[in-house]
Amino acid sequence: MLATIQFDSIKTRLIIIIAVCLLGMLVLVGNQIYNTDRLINLNSQSKQLLNLSHELLQLRRHEKDFLLRRDPQYVDKFRIRAEGFSHQITQLNPMFAKLGDSDTLFDELSLSFTQYRTQFFSLVSLQTQIGLDENSGLQGRFRQATHSLEEQLQRSNQTDLQVLMLQMRRSEKDFLLRKHLDYVERETLFYQQLSLAITQSNLINVQLQQPLLDIYQNSFLQLVSAYQTIGLDHTLGLQGKFREQAHTLEEQLTRVNSKLAVLINIAEERVERISLLIMTITTLVLVTLLIKSYITFQRAFLNFVMFFYRCKREYQHMDSKKLGFSEFKYLATIANEMIDARCDIERQLQAANKHIAELEKVNGGSAKAQ
């Protein structure tokens, strides 16, 4: 009974209202802190993904600089940035796993980048084999043989062979410039004509000219084969695969970024929904408590008004069960005790008056008898 009275008291009701307000605010603040931290984490991942996209652009820049200028320094720059790119992917993967996201996209991204890097270094190896400039690799080898052969033909004053040599070299240059296999066939035809002419020559230097011509032709054909492996244009061979792999890598980065954008939107919507839910529940509880308290106050005051109104005419006890709050019940108990005390006093007064009247009557009868 005591616990019920304490729960029904005004003090308890006010404490409950204050507790509901504080609890709602604490839950709302806790939700904001938790989800804000999550959003900050997501935005941090978004910035790192943006940095990855920037790093990929730098990698492609070094790749194109090497293909254009054949400078080994761009290979070193590519290698350094590639290591940093791979390290950033390794760091991002577990962070996305903590967000509850599958690591399939990162596995595909990591595999694609590994293939991209491997293909670039394969291309660099082939290009180095061909020659980074006109004096290195296969280009340097057949160029040196060609110059030696041209010098011998010039010293021997073999004009007709020099013309065949120039036509052969023209076809070679056309191939190096345009990468069309027609020029290889034409160069091979001039080679056969020049080789036959050297063989039919009666000069003593023929024994030196033919080996030089064979070295030139073998080196040129090896160079053509290497270019075919690399790709005669940007859509063929290793160059085409490398370009396609780079585009695949860019698309995968875009998909990862899109997935992260979806996660950010979901997290933002979740913050709004949970905050709205907390505020709605808190408001409903407070409104319910306030309405209930208002109704209880109103009934209690109406009962007190009716009680005092009836006290003028008749002595009626106040029903404490209808008052709601324990403080009002206590006041009703005291008021009922006051009514009981007043009734007792009035009864005693009536009895005393009756006794006095009887005494006066007795005393009046005795006086008349005397």
**How confident is the model over 165-178, as pLDDT tens digits?**
899 999 989 998 88
Average pLDDT, stretch 67-83?
90
User: Residue 179's domain spans which residues?
Assistant: 137-230
Q: At what angle do helices 237-311 and 206-230 cross, to 10 degrees?
A: 20
Exposure letters 48-82 (e unless 16+ CB within 10 A, then b): bbeebeebbeebbebbebbbeebeeebbebbeebb
User: Out of 39-43, 108-112, 184-188, which region has the weakest mean confidence (pLDDT)?
Assistant: 39-43
Q: 157 and 78, same structural domain? A: no
CATH code, 75: 1.20.120
125 and 24 inside one domain: yes
Residue of 126, 130, 132 lying closest to 221 (CA atoms): 130
Instruction: Give domain status of residue 159, yes or no.
Output: yes
Burial class (CB in 10 A: 0-12, 13-18, 19+), 8: middle
Question: How does DSSP classify residue 16?
Answer: H
Q: Is residue 248 part of a domain?
A: yes
Highest mean pLDDT among 33-37, 85-89, 105-109, 303-307 belongs to 85-89
Note whether residue 299 is domain-resident: no
Residue 3 has a pLDDT of: 42
Q: Domain total for the chain?
A: 3
How far is residue 117's CA from residue 70's CA, in Å, rounded to a whole number? 17
Q: How much is the pTM? A: 0.63
Q: What is the pLDDT of residue 182?
A: 93
Closest CA to 213 of 178, 183, 188: 188
pLDDT of 139 over the 80 cut: yes
Task: Return the axis-axis angle of helices 72-98 and 104-130, rounded to nearest 10°.
Answer: 170
Is 314 inside a domain boundary? no
Confidence band of 5 (pLDDT split at 50, 70, 90):
very low
> Do 75 and 198 reside in the same domain of the chain?
no
Q: With a cut of 80, say whether residue 9 has pLDDT above it.
A: no
The residue from 219, 254, 279 where one domain ends is 279
Q: What is the dihedral of CA 49, 52, 54, 60, to 10 degrees?
A: -140
Which letter, b or e, does each residue of 168-197 get, where b requires 16 or more Cβ atoms within 10 Å of its Cβ? bbebbebbbeebeeebbebbbebbeebbeb
- On whether the CB atoms of residues 191 and 114 are closer than 8 A, the answer is no
pLDDT bucket at 70, cuts 50 / 70 / 90: confident
**Is 315 inside any structural domain?**
no
Q: How many C-beta neighbours within 10 Å does residue 113 have?
A: 23
In a domain, 155, yes or no: yes
**pLDDT at residue number 183:** 93
Tell me whether residue 295 is in a domain: no
For residue 324, pLDDT beyond 60? no
- Looking at the structure, tell me whether residues 71 and 105 fall in a common domain: yes
Which is higher by pLDDT, 99 or 226? 226
pLDDT tens digits for range 268-301: 788 888 888 888 888 888 888 788 777 776 776 6
Query: Are 267 and 333 members of one domain?
Result: no
Residue 116 and residue 255 in one domain? yes
pLDDT band at 103 (very low <50, low <70, confident <90, very high): low
Are residues 173 and 99 part of one domain?
A: no
Same domain, 360 and 325: yes
With cut-offs at 50, 70 and 90, classify the pLDDT of residue 73.
very high
Measure the CA–CA gap between 139 and 173, rounded to whole angstroms.
11
Over 80: is that where the pLDDT of 241 sits? yes
206 and 330 part of one domain: no
For CA atoms 205, 210, 212, 213, the dihedral sign is positive
Structure token digits, residue 218: 């073998």
117 and 248 inside one domain? yes
Q: Is residue 297 part of a domain?
A: no
94 and 215 part of one domain: no
Q: Are residues 115 and 141 in the same domain?
A: no
